[in-house]
């Protein structure tokens, strides 16, 4: 499922309900914020966007068209056409406008429910009996990517599975990417805490930094001097690697990552 937390309100969207030609975008209000929870089967990614643009709230639907072999969204209010993966209006009155990306995470329902016991769940008819593709059996086909202002960096899921925790910088901002195999979840957090930059390593299914162990899926310290503190979750896009390369042919890949 695709999970979203906005201002303390958590909601889960099962992928076998979110996928399908007549679904793939939910216009929601979470934590008082208008959001679009989206999915693209062609690129196999779920992305959450804020629906507010210059004080106006937009309502999105799937157009049925493709751009770069990726879904195209249309907003009801202006008829502008938006690239799902880029979050940018490519045609229409709002051409060139970009939506703000918000954190969302794909993981197992079991883990999400454990992390967010008061979560609500979207309940619709299923579009398939199970969603086998997102078990990432072919890890080399998938990438996890972060977008900064003018810089993007992506890692193969294979590398994330092998390393579990990767310290990265995007536009000078310290970030950690981490993978929890049991939860089928890949996440990204800011490494900046109280004016310090933490350096993370993997330790028996958890993250280790600053003398504390941190839960991967919640980003919260479970012991040590940082116990009870939580890292800031960042937007991360999981998708087919070939989709990311189509849209960001000059993006930086993990083998070229910078050190702190």
> What does the pLDDT read at residue 259?
34
Q: Does some domain include residue 133?
A: no
One domain, residues 82 and 150: no
> What does the pLDDT read at residue 69?
87
One domain, residues 182 and 224: yes
Whether residue 90 contacts residue 105, with contact meaning beta carbons closer than 8 Å, is answered with: no
**Which residues, at least 6 apart from 9, have a Cβ–Cβ distance to it below 8 Å?**
30, 31, 120
Question: Which of 87, 121, 155 is the C-terminal boundary of a domain?
Answer: 121
Total domains in the fold of the chain: 2
One domain, residues 38 and 113: yes
> What does the pLDDT read at residue 260?
36
One domain, residues 175 and 96: no
One domain, residues 113 and 143: no
Per-residue pLDDT of the chain (260 residues; tens, 9 = 90+): 899 999 999 999 988 877 766 678 999 999 999 999 999 888 888 999 999 998 999 999 988 888 888 999 999 999 999 999 999 999 999 999 999 999 999 999 999 999 999 999 988 766 555 554 445 556 778 889 998 777 889 998 888 988 989 999 988 899 999 999 899 899 999 999 999 999 999 998 999 999 999 999 999 999 999 999 999 999 999 888 888 888 888 778 775 443 33
Q: Which residue is it, tokens 């909601």?
A: 11
Question: Which of 61, 90, 121 is the C-terminal boundary of a domain?
Answer: 121
One domain, residues 48 and 115: yes
- Containing structural domain, residue 154: 138-256
Q: Does some domain include residue 221?
A: yes
Q: Does some domain include residue 128?
A: no
One domain, residues 108 and 37: yes
Question: Which of 92, 121, 150 is the C-terminal boundary of a domain?
Answer: 121
Q: Does some domain include residue 86?
A: yes
One domain, residues 165 and 232: yes
Which CATH number goes with the domain that contains 249?
Answer: 2.102.10.10
Query: Residue 64 is encoded by which pair of tokens?
Result: 């049925």
One domain, residues 55 and 149: no
């Amino acid at each position: 499922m695709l999970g979203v937390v906005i201002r303390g309100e958590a909601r889960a969207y099962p992928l076998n309900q979110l996928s399908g030609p007549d679904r793939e975008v939910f216009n929601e209000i979470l934590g008082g914020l208008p959001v679009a929870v989206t999915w693209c089967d062609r690129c196999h990614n779920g992305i959450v966007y804020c629906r507010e643009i210059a004080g106006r709230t937009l309502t999105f639907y799937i157009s049925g068209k493709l751009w770069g072999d990726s879904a195209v969204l249309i907003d009801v209010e202006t008829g502008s056409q938006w690239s799902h993966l880029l979050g940018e209006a490519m045609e229409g009155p709002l051409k060139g406008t970009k939506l703000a990306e918000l954190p969302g995470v794909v993981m197992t329902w079991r883990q999400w429910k454990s992390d967010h016991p008061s979560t609500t769940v979207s309940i619709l008819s299923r579009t398939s009996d199970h969603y086998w593709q997102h078990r990432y059996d072919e890890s080399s086909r998938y990438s996890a990517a972060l977008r900064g202002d003018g810089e993007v960096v992506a890692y193969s899921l294979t590398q994330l599975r092998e390393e579990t925790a990767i310290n990265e910088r995007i536009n000078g901002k310290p970030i950690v990417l981490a993978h929890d195999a049991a939860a089928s979840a890949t996440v990204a957090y800011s490494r900046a805490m109280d004016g310090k930059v933490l350096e993370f390593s993997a330790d028996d299914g958890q993250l280790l930094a600053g003398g504390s162990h941190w839960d991967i899926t919640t980003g919260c310290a479970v012991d040590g001097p940082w116990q009870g503190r939580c890292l800031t979750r960042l937007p991360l896009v999981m998708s087919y690697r070939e989709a990311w390369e189509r849209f960001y042919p000059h993006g930086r890949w993990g083998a070229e990552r910078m050190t702190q």
